[in-house]
Amino acid sequence: MPDDGPDGRRAAARARLDALWRRGAEFLGTEVAIMGGAMSWVSERHLVSAISNAGGFGVIACGAMTPALLEAEIAATQALTRKPFGVNLITMHPELEDLIRVTLAAGVGHVVLAGGIPPGPAVRAVKERAKLVCFAPALVLAKRLVRSGADAIVIEGSEAGGHIGPVSLTVLAQEILPHLREVPVFVAGGLGRGEAILSYLEMGASGAQLGTRFAASAESIAHPNFKRAFIRAAARDAVPSVQLDPRFPVIPVRGLSNAGTKRFLEYQAEMIRKFQSGEMTREEAQLSIEHFWAGALRRAVIEGDVEEGSVMAGQSVGMVTEVQPVAAIIQELVDQAVAALMAREPA
């Protein structure tokens, strides 16, 4: 006879959760279909291996690494975990082909191509030996990427930290999940609790990607000041960068408001004034604006300058209340989803 006690009900609920994200877990080769977001300076060997060892799927953020640095980072991660993990590569990197070669030669089974539509040669190179994951900000692009060879899609809402698109996950999920069944779809942006993950799984998602909560984990190498800033922050403190003049585009990046973000507005205004007065060309002013944040993320993450540095964070930062081990974060998410499923059944 089935066990109708609390333990039996919990086991049944966990089985339902596992069934909901089975497609995603099987695609990743993991126990739970939870990916770590690729965060520059944060998603390195220690955090990536911790996520994978806890049953999730860590992803190395290659960012601006050279092929030699990426090769060393992959080897260091493999020394810390035998579980699957992926590598996130930026499509605009000038050495993209070499980065793909290094990644595949190391035996990494999943490559995430981000930062734009991946070029055909890169897609074909990845597909020869690994599974390809791509980001899609709209249904039409998601379908195009699948036709081009993407084995899985991540839809990331504007609630996320770092570089963001203009549409919330709530809207993206409604637009994409009912109409894209060919490949697993992972949701991202503003996720901080298991109940939210569960709701998207029931809409058709195969798993979830989280960044902000893992950035403040015990295994994250981020400076203690960086983690304390997360704990103090509310959701409304994570805001996108502001563009003052459409003639000088600013790529939107979500982070915690601080002295640096206020100074960025002043700096834009000064560069625009210089352009209008003829002291600078438009190209010079644009380049100067783009270079304002150079090194700012490292200053915040590694050096702990959370006033002038770029403290990238998603709106889920308001749910970061303490520094927790990665395993505890993942278990908490699972427990919350299971409790939500249990609450639907009579005791």
| Domain ranges within the chain, ordered by starting residue | 6-222+321-343, 234-312
CA 145 to chain centre: 19
By the 8 A CB rule, do 70 and 48 touch? no
The residue whose two tokens read 């549409």 is: 167
Is it the case that residue 1 has pLDDT exceeding 60?
no
Which tokens go with 323?
Answer: 């520094």
Average pLDDT over residues 277-286: 94
* 130-167 residue pLDDT tens: 999 999 999 999 999 999 999 999 999 999 999 999 99
The residue whose two tokens read 């499509």 is: 91
User: How is residue 312 annotated by DSSP?
Assistant: B
The class that CATH gives domain 6-222+321-343 is: alpha beta
Distance CA 72, CA 50 (A): 18
| pLDDT value of position 345 | 78
Is it the case that residue 4 has pLDDT exceeding 90?
no
By the 8 A CB rule, do 103 and 66 touch? no
Closest Cα to residue 90, out of 73, 112, 110, 70? 112
Give CA separation, 140 vs 137, 151, 176, 253, 282, in Å.
9, 16, 9, 24, 34
Average pLDDT over residues 262-291: 94
Environment class of residue 81 by beta-carbon count within 10 Å: exposed (0-12), middle (13-18) or buried (19+)? Answer: middle
